[in-house]
Amino acid sequence: MTRESVLDLTLVSPSLASKIQDWIVLPDLGSDHYGISFTIAGNTRPLVDNLSLATAYNTDLADWGIFSEKLKSGIVNCIALNSPELITILNYTNSLAILEEEESSITILLDEASKELTKAVTEAADLSIPKRKVGARVKPWWNDSLKELRQKMIRNQRTFIRYSYNYTAKRDYLIAKNAYFLAIKQAKRSHWNDFLEKEDPKTIFKAMAYTRDRQIELIPPIQASTDPEHLESSFAGKCSSFRSTLFPPPPEAPKPTWNSYTPSNKWLWPNLTIPELATACTTKLKGKTPGPDLITQVIIQHAYNAIPEVFFRLFSVLIDVGYHPTYWKQATGAILKKPGKPNYALPKAYRVISLLNCLGKVSERILAQRLGYLAETTQLLHPSQIGGRLKKSAIDAALLFNNEVEIGLKRKQKTSALLLDVKGAFDHSFLSNRQLRLAFDGQIEQFAALNTGIPQGSPISPILFLIYIRGLFTGIVTARPLSYIDDIALIVTTPNYTSNIKILEKEAARLFDQGAKSAIQFDLAKTELIHFGPSKAKLRLPDQTRIEPKQLVRWLAQAKSAFLRLARLANTERGLSPAAIRQLYIACVTSIADYGSIIWWRGQAGFKKRLQELQNLALRKILGVFKTAPIVPMEVEASLPPPEIRLNSSIRQYALRLTRLSKSHPVNIEASKNTERARADLANASIARRYLARPDSDSDSASDSELNYTEPTLAIQLDRIIGSISYIVSDSYERTQHFQFPPWARKTPYSVEISQLPKEEEALAHNTLISIPNTRITHVYSDASYIPDGIGVGVGIAIPTRYSSIVNIGAEQLVYNGELEGVTQAIEYVSSIAIPRQKYRIYSDNQAGLHRLKTPSDNPGQDCQIRAIQATEVAIRKGASIELAWVPGHTDIEGNELADRLAKQATLEEPSSNSTSFAYLGMKIKGIRRAEWLSYLTNYTTNKPNSNPNSYTRKFIWKIGARPLIPPNTKREIASAFYQLKLGHGYLKSYLFRLDRSNSDLCRCGKRETPEHLLLSCSEYKGARSALKSELRGVRLTLPLLLHTKVGIAATINFLKETKIVTRRWHLERAEEEY
């Protein structure tokens, strides 16, 4: 067969369709058909609410004014929170006494204070926030009309029963009943369609979340902990099995002694600061399920804004003395299935997610930030520990592992890895006195003590775990250790596997001995030994089953599953808009399909084919077009590059990330080693060539390695990544001082004000402000500009009638960098002229630049931020103050217009720097992707020329954009009709006639029905076409104008809204009329 086709059709009832899960297209079966594997969830176990998805408060409907009022009044009555003793604890310096539980009066007071704060917040929430209804049958579509219809139905039903089933009463009851249920059906459809037609991100991702099951199956009987042959079926019995298996008693370890402990000055640990607490309380965290207190991060944010002094009073004591309240150590343990396990009767086939009290997470978040900072600026952790650390990811760890294997293969050596899993690690204060209640099967048990394991779900758990196991790696010498949280790999490369095994046995023995000393256990069931080598040998199992090495693309099944859930949200008539489906495809499907591509993508044709098949499905769903629509034009219309270009761009983005990271980052260190190895290999190759080329050389006496020497040809993936942008990266790119700002010192000495008023209103308010004479305020304006005829980005600074300055910061910068530089130079100038009691207000029309200067971090632009902070501190020492503020650009503000003219003038000046900004490099990488895509399209046009004058390539030029040209909020039906018109595959008789789906290709007006005809000449739509011409100001109508320009597309959408042409409804109505 020349192409894939669908010959079979499966019909399924709606009740069964809803139970089908995990669709997977199977590999080639040797037939011209694809096999499909899927799972049908049976009804052997009833469904229950998924407690891990439940939330108690509907904060979208909260009255935050009442909440703040009730919280403030409730705090007044809190005895412990307002006690003088709480303040005096701040002066208490003997934290060791608290750690060793020798100061019970202090811990009792802190426990009571934390309990009072939790109770006050909860009571205020009860009075101001409605409870969210949990379950699969919530009714957001309910309205007052339905309520009236229901009441009418009930009245008629009672009348019908009262009058002994009178015929008239029965008729009235049935009419009312039918009207009620028909109205419900219409309300559901209308509500769902209205919901899906929204394009805001919150609604889009909420719709995607609705495709997940909010109900789950009951957990089957679980193997008893005392008798493996017995299965526990009761809730209490299952809880007992889970507790004994998943939370075994911890190993015995000697209690630490502090007699010889002396504080060290290298561990910076200042008292809690207000900005530090504010960040922890006001950070927005999406999708976090609350713990037993039912308080979410949104509630904490508003609670902190209402009573910041109370929060600071309590948390400063907790952080400074090092105590975690017992009341916040309660957790709800949600039992979840581990996917793909063969036997769900075993307790280990499940995992426990701890839903912790969110108020306790505030202090945990602060401590985690501090420990994470110390881990990067001191020797707190071993260099081989990758996961759970700042700027170190799972991809980094996997890439380091992969690099070790590839280096071994390149040198024709054998690499072996012993994979270990840490079973448990235990600390004291944070984990003592913990209580847990398990939640599953729609039930929750009572709290019970728990004395083992770090809670999964706590912000501080990863860093505590890393600190505890850091001593495991100090004695490893002959193997390379590499760890990601609790997964440890010992990697060895030698000429043969026998040597590898001996080395790994020795190092594993050291590791286990060290673990035993620290009460660290390893899960032997998860221990694996992997040999990496070039062998392609086939393996036979004991039952003689032959296993052949082949590449499996298992991860693609997960991406396909995510797409199929997404596909339920739209068809050609209703559902999410093309922009919304496109956003979900990028965020929820390609993120799965591309995961780890930094490691595995080398342009493999097999991977490319699979990913392209998935994208083809997505393109049809995004645009709402027919299956036969051409793929390459669809990619252009959806602004989705082919998968190979997308993956190539991801490689470059990762390379840019490495450029921004510290030279001491593990991956950068490994890249430097690769460079040194390559130089050594080149030197060895040169020596070998000279030796073998000597006329007097005795080849018989040469060693086997010399005679068989060949230059390495296998490319290393890390080298590919570095080389992907090597030709655009120079040594002059901007530098970063990594970890310059500790968590407790992330407050700028200048203030930043960004008005929320519309541009016109803010311009009026600004002009009114500066019109009032005030000698104590100096107004300074800065701006940046770039013009095509200029040399680089120009920066202008102006104090009207008093001072002006211009500078060109170079060609390899963006206007954004110029805005940062302009504000920074303005701060430096006013710092040099600052006088006591003078306020300097510096204005910029770039909000992104002001936000960057407001937030101390290691991100690009840090150099300007550091200079701005240092200059402001100088001005403060002189007795002056500095404020930064936003002004709208091009709104006749005199100072801003003057700075803009100066900036344009500066673009023609000689550049003062040859530095390259990271923002500019990012733009260059996007340009490379665009050029690669254009080359791909050119090759497509050249290699597959289409002589059909109605084809896409004959009618339109390639136009690549960041997003589709169709206007936002275009309804699904109209968008689908537009793309069918443009691609020529849709509800058009000229197309349907070719497929034998229409008796004729003629329009009702007698001419051939094509996109050109319907848009440009059909007499039936003469009136709508006149309005179309008027909207386009009389310009001659052409297909490129109407379908390929932004202004023309907007007008065409309005034309389609009026005429409904090429929609499915239009097609069916015409077919019915013609029939």
Alpha-carbon distances, residue 700 vs 703, 704, 755 (angstroms): 8, 10, 84
Type of residue found at 987:
Y
**pLDDT confidence of residue 337:** 87
Give residue 167's pLDDT band: very low, low, confident or very high (50, 70, 90): confident
Mean pLDDT of 880-891: 96
Q: What CA–CA distance (Å, rounded) separates 812 from 806?
A: 18
Question: What are the phi and psi torsion angles at 807 (to 5°)?
Answer: -155, 145
* Residue 413: strand, helix, or coil: coil
Work out the mean pLDDT of the chain and round it to a whole number: 86
Type of residue found at 961:
G
Q: What CA–CA distance (Å, rounded) separates 149 from 187?
A: 12
pTM of the full predicted structure?
Answer: 0.87
State the residue for tokens 């899927």: 38
Query: Is residue 549 pLDDT above 50, yes or no?
Result: no
* Domain positions in the chain: 14-49, 50-131+292-323, 144-210, 555-659, 662-694+704-723, 743-915, 972-1074
Give residue 355's pLDDT band: very low, low, confident or very high (50, 70, 90): confident
**pLDDT confidence of residue 705:** 41
Question: What are the phi and psi torsion angles at 583 (to 5°)?
Answer: -65, -40
What ranges in 380-420 are assigned the alpha helix state H? 394-410
Instruction: Say which residues have a Cβ less than 8 Å from residue 444's Cβ, sequence separation at least 6.
Output: 51, 332, 437, 438
Query: Is residue 1061 pLDDT above 70, yes or no?
Result: yes
Q: For the chain, what is the radius of gyration of the CA atoms?
A: 34
Neighbours of 732 (CB within 10 A): 12
State the residue for tokens 């009235």: 172
State the residue for tokens 């280990």: 348
Query: Is residue 256 pLDDT above 80, yes or no?
Result: no
Query: Is residue 102 pLDDT above 90, yes or no?
Result: no
**pLDDT confidence of residue 115:** 94
Q: What CA–CA distance (Å, rounded) separates 1067 from 986?
A: 10
Type of residue found at 915:
S
DSSP 272: P
List pLDDT tens digits, range 643-669: 999 999 999 999 999 999 999 999 999
**pLDDT confidence of residue 433:** 75
Question: What token pair was written down for 164?
Answer: 């002994």
Alpha-carbon distances, residue 283 vs 202, 270, 558, 1065 (angstroms): 17, 22, 31, 47
DSSP 879: T
**pLDDT confidence of residue 550:** 40
**pLDDT confidence of residue 920:** 94
678 or 415, greater pLDDT: 415
**pLDDT confidence of residue 669:** 95
List pLDDT tens digits, range 687-715: 655 555 555 544 444 444 433 433 444 58
Q: At what angle do helices 1022-1031 and 1046-1059 cross, to 10 degrees?
A: 150
Type of residue found at 92:
Y
Print the SS3 string covering 732-770: CECCCCCCCCCHHHCCCCCEEECCCCCHHHHHHHHHHHH
Type of residue found at 18:
S
The percentage of residues in the chain with a pLDDT greater than 90, rounded to a whole number, is 59
Q: Are 394 and 387 in contact (CB under 8 A)?
A: yes
Q: What CA–CA distance (Å, rounded) separates 455 from 451?
A: 11
Please classify residue 903 by burial: count the beta carbons closer than 10 Å to its beta carbon, then call 0-12 exposed, 13-18 middle and 19+ buried. Answer: buried
Q: Which CATH superfamily is 743-915 part of?
A: Ribonuclease H-like superfamily/Ribonuclease H (3.30.420.10)
List pLDDT tens digits, range 770-807: 999 999 999 999 999 999 888 889 999 999 989 999 99
Q: Are 984 and 952 in contact (CB under 8 A)?
A: yes
Give residue 733's pLDDT band: very low, low, confident or very high (50, 70, 90): confident
Query: Is residue 358 pLDDT above 80, yes or no?
Result: yes
List pLDDT tens digits, range 989-1036: 999 999 988 989 999 999 999 999 999 999 999 999 999 999 999 899
Contacts 24+ apart (CB under 8 A), 722-729: 722/655, 722/658, 722/671, 722/674, 724/648, 724/651, 724/652, 724/655, 725/652, 725/655, 725/656, 725/659, 725/921, 725/925, 728/921, 728/924, 728/925, 728/928, 729/659, 729/916, 729/921
Ranking 10-24, 49-63, 453-467 by mean pLDDT, the lowest is: 10-24
Q: What CA–CA distance (Å, rounded) separates 835 from 59?
A: 48
> What length does the chain have?
1075
Q: Which of 110, 134, 131, 127 is nearest to 359 (CA)?
A: 110
Q: At what angle do helices 167-196 and 144-162 cross, to 10 degrees?
A: 160
The alpha carbon of 199 is separated from its chain's Cα centroid by a whole number of angstroms, namely: 19
List pLDDT tens digits, range 19-73: 665 555 554 444 556 566 666 665 555 666 655 555 578 888 899 999 999 999 9
Q: Are 567 and 575 in contact (CB under 8 A)?
A: no
Mean pLDDT of 514-531: 85
List pLDDT tens digits, range 903-924: 999 999 999 988 999 999 999 9
* Residue 197: strand, helix, or coil: coil
